């Protein structure tokens, strides 16, 4: 019945919750063994009895957050497979969930992205398995034009990179369409049937002109400034 790790009143859970909350609300540096201990109402040694060391605690936190977050994902995957939802819509839903999660929980996301942790972490493996299922469904539909491994890597890299790039940009300067653009880039690379993106000549011409506009000496500085502002606005609207 009861696992050995489950003592009585869920002390383990209390510690994990306290650590997760501390991590989410006050950042990585606030997650100290003592702070977690007092927040959970236990003594520092309890952490070491239950998790071995601090890294074990962080791994448990990662697994907890990941599970909480992935359970929905996994449920959606299964439900989608059963309901016959388009695998691509399913993949896109997962992508958006991951981006939202990453932007909402930067510290937890960083924790889950650390290569040293990902390499030997059961929770990371679980997360990857969910993504593998989604990729597999796309593959089974016959629309993949690269290996599943390649597709998996591209989706993973695109997601991690997009989140990290957005997090590394001041919130007011972020490109809100970056995530979707990256997803489309990955899709176009792994799908057999080309999404047939319309070759938009106007955008290309606008971008090219935007690049050389600052060198138009026939205009005044303020005119150039105003014009580039308009151009950026026009491009952002695309």
Partner DNA sequence: AGCGTGCGATAACATCGATACATGGACGAC
Partner DNA sequence: GTCGTCCATGTATCGATGTTATCGCACGCT
In the region spanning residues 129 to 168, those forming contacts with a second copy, defined by CB under 8 A, are: 136, 139-150, 153-154, 156-162, 164-165, 167-168
Is residue 149 a contact residue for DNA (CB under 7 A)?
no
Is residue 212 a contact residue for a second copy (CB under 8 A)?
yes
Residues 111 and 219: their CA atoms lie apart, in Å, by: 50
Beta carbons within 8 Å of 194's beta carbon, 6+ residues apart: 188
Look at the block and give the residue holding tokens 């977690």. Answer: 36
| Complex with DNA: residue 43 or 220, whichever CB lies closer | 43
Q: How far is CA 98 from the centre of its chain?
A: 4
Closest separation in Å from C-beta 104 to DNA: 24
Residues 53 and 66: their CA atoms lie apart, in Å, by: 20
Closest separation in Å from C-beta 14 to a second copy: 29
Residues 176-205 that bind a second copy (CB under 8 A): 177-178, 181-182, 184-186, 188-189, 192-194, 196, 199-205
How many chain residues interact with a second copy (CB under 8 A)? 79
Nearest to 213 by CA among 204, 205, 202, 224: 224
- The CA-CA-CA angle for residues 156, 101, 124, to 5°, reads 50
| Complex with DNA: residue 6 or 78, whichever CB lies closer | 6
| Complex with DNA: residue 17 or 180, whichever CB lies closer | 17
Q: CB under 7 A: which stretch of 2-10, 84-92, 129-137, 161-169 binds DNA?
A: 2-10
How many chain residues interact with DNA (CB under 7 A)? 20
* Residues linked to residue 191 through DSSP beta bridges, in sequence order: 144
192 class by beta-carbon count within 10 Å (0-12 exposed, 13-18 middle, 19+ buried): exposed
Residues 158-197 that bind DNA (CB under 7 A): none
- Which residue from 39, 42, 93, 139 is in contact with DNA, where contact means CB under 7 A? 42
| Complex with a second copy: residue 100 or 175, whichever CB lies closer | 175
- The CA-CA-CA angle for residues 31, 108, 103, to 5°, reads 135
Is residue 53 a contact residue for DNA (CB under 7 A)?
yes
Inter-residue contact 106 to 65 (CB < 8 Å): no
Tokens of 194: 């080309």
Residues of this chain that interact with DNA (CB under 7 A) are 4, 7-8, 11, 31-35, 42-49, 53-55
């Amino acid at each position: 019945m009861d696992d050995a790790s489950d003592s009585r009143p869920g002390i383990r859970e209390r510690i994990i919750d306290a650590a997760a909350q501390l991590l989410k609300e006050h950042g990585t540096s606030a997650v100290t063994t003592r702070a977690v201990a007092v927040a959970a109402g236990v003594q520092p040694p309890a952490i070491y009895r239950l998790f071995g060391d601090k890294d074990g605690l962080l791994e448990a936190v990662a697994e907890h957050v990941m599970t909480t977050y992935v359970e929905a994902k996994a449920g959606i995957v299964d439900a989608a497979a059963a309901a016959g939802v388009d695998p691509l819509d399913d993949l896109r839903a997962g992508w958006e969930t991951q981006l939202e999660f990453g932007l909402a929980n930067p510290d937890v996301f960083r924790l889950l992205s650390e290569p040293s942790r990902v390499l030997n972490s059961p929770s990371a493996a679980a997360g990857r398995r969910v993504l593998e299922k989604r990729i597999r469904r796309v593959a089974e539909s016959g629309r993949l034009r690269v290996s599943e491994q390649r597709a998996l890597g591209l989706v993973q890299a695109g997601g991690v990179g997009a989140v990290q790039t957005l997090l590394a940009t001041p919130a007011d300067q972020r490109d809100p369409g970056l995530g979707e653009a990256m997803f489309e880039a990955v899709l176009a690379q792994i799908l057999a049937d080309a999404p047939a993106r319309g070759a938009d000549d106007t955008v290309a011409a606008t971008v090219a002109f935007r690049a050389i506009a600052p060198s138009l000496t026939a205009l005044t500085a303020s005119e150039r400034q105003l014009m580039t502002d308009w151009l950026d606005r026009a491009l952002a609207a695309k």
